[in-house]
A and B are shown apart, each in its own frame.
Chain A
């Protein structure tokens, strides 16, 4: 049997931000595939391009962004060539949805939850050019969606305003809005960062259930490696606009190939016992318009050799399904990086 085509195939996506005279390469030759029902975790420090990647896929980039080249194939069609009209009518919010970090800012404080949820349904229905539906139909749909995200007593809750909801419940409303039965790709950008651990666990289980039940694929952007380890099937580690390492979650976290991935894991307090020092990577993420020559990580990397300062290491497959962009990893194989 022929293997199913991937749901999303991003290839060589390169994107610049123009800020006055400054030109910043926010994404540099990003290529990856996402299968149906798969959860891909995207990790990295702030400013590494994680959120830009999400916004590029759903085409909500700010005006200063300029896609240089590459394609984003979604179900075989290049999203970059689809008109804004078609994106609005058929894809954004229906086939591809996004949940943002801050649910407080994503809901309008002066309208009820019912108004905000049914508005979206009405717009989607309008684009489908069907017979007009009754308000009751939309209300029931909204109740159904709230119920599926685990909100108790959805009928009564619909007439509430956002301020009457807690942070976790607002995030549930956002997920309810983002997901309909037709959603095949969910982009979650730090969706649980502002929540308590117990609520975070509830929301993440909800996302995992949806992926398992409806076969929704998820691009889960987070800086919490623990969350990704438990939720994601595969992990992508980004640094300064490039993919540094990509592979199956357990594989990558157990023995990372790239020294940067190893360093991120070493700096987690959960990986160390009391009294031992944590690793802090020297230096900082370089500004995107002042990237060093060669591997962008080399000034912070104690293992760097001459070649790292001259050439950019390509992202290459090291073992089956596991990619890494480092000149040194192939030489040393799976040997542990001795950061401390």
Chain B
């Protein structure tokens, strides 16, 4: 049985609009964006947890809250039984060595005036507090570049000399520099060509096998999440609507939103194709989410009680959770 690496309990992240004094007096008052609203989930060690949903559903915010890049309102994030939200600056530094991020816009997170070698060496120098032998550092960077199938000579080049796929691999090299146990990958292959994306996926799987890394895989590409992840959660407007083993969710999807999402994914092979469930309209604003079930405004199977009662996540058996009145006993 795999151990729990990250345990999130009742996490809430809210953003506020019109915070200023003037807009409070003259404006429409404080507006609350319910970006992540009461989310609980468990990520098991050495496995990949996929997080899917449409843009604006809060999946990236959830990931950023785990790293304390945005402030959580309430809840707990237990990382190896320590609450990330209560860590002091010293333990937070240690946590951030063990947990790393790979961002979507790889060029955006590299300093264009630093060589790739300097970029990758930076976390190593931080860890050693600047006291590191130049030769050892040089070798370490070379090793990391080789680990992501780049030429060690790449260290003296600048970010603009690399293609999208190569830049993504540099991001991976920097993320694995400190031997992390956990990596969050936020849309790691968006904007890449099919074959290049496959290279990145292969590379990240190899690294997982070698270094026993746990991934949080944030993506809106369901085909990819199906291929990469062991467990997954589907988010809608800040809430988890369905969660469980990836295999179970794709085989016996329970929530109408999951059904619509999966059926909308275009498939190459005709026998994998499903009748597309077309959703009406678009995702509502998280400022004033609909009452009751948040999905009811677009749900093809909406009922009377969906408007008043909010469905809670219930176990359908074998750890397959779903928040929908259709699947609740009473």
Contacts and interface: CB of A to CB of B under 8 A. Distances in A.
Contacts of B265: 197, 226, 270
Kindly name the residue among B194, B226, B269 whose own CB sees the greatest number of chain A CB atoms within 10 A: B194
A226 B223 contact: yes
A280 B199 contact: yes
Contact of A200 (B246, B264, B273, B281): B264
Contacts of B281: 152
Contact of A278 (B198, B260, B278): B198
A198 B260 contact: yes
9 contacts: A197-B264, A199-B54, A201-B264, A226-B267, A230-B267, A231-B266, A269-B223, A278-B201, A279-B195
Nearest to A167: B55
Contacts of A225: 194, 268
A54 B322 CA distance: 45
Given A200-B264, A267-B195, 10 more contacts: A196-B220, A199-B54, A202-B278, A223-B194, A253-B268, A254-B269, A269-B198, A269-B223, A270-B265, A274-B230
A274 B194 contact: no
A130 B151 CA distance: 66
A250 B268 contact: no
Given A225-B194, A280-B199, A197 B276 contact: no
A284 B267 contact: no
A25 to B, nearest CB: 20
B309 interface: no
A36 B83 CA distance: 63
A317 to B, nearest CB: 24
A45 interface: yes
A73 B19 CA distance: 60
A229 B242 CA distance: 28
Interface residues of A: mostly helix, strand, loop or mixed? helix
A226 B228 contact: no
B113 to A, nearest CB: 26
Question: Which one of A196, A263, A271 has the highest number of Cβ atoms from chain B below 10 Å of its Cβ?
Answer: A196
Contacts, number: 116
B25 interface: no
Interface string A252-282: 0110000000011101111111100111110
Given A269-B228, A270-B272, A198 B194 contact: no
A64 B157 CA distance: 30
B184 to A, nearest CB: 19
B201 A270 contact: no
A268 B272 CA distance: 14
B328 interface: no
A267 B196 CA distance: 9
A224 interface: yes
A45 B223 contact: no
Interface residues of B, number: 41
Given A45-B195, A200-B264, A230 B273 contact: yes
Contacts of A254: 269-270
A-B CB proximity, top 9 nearest: A226-B266, A269-B227, A270-B223, A278-B198, A267-B198, A280-B199, A201-B264, A196-B54, A280-B198
Interface in B198-242: 198-199, 201-202, 205, 220-224, 226-230
A90 interface: no
Residue picked from B246, B260, B266, B281, most chain A C-beta under 10 Å:
B266
B282 interface: yes
Contacts of B54: 196-199
A189 B241 CA distance: 34
Interface in B4-47: none
A166 B278 contact: no
B260 A277 contact: no
Nearest to A266: B198
Contacts of B264: 197-198, 200-201
A205 interface: yes
B163 A284 contact: yes
Nearest to B205: A277
Interface in B257-308: 260-261, 264-270, 272-273, 276, 278-279, 281-282
B153 interface: no
A260 to B, nearest CB: 10
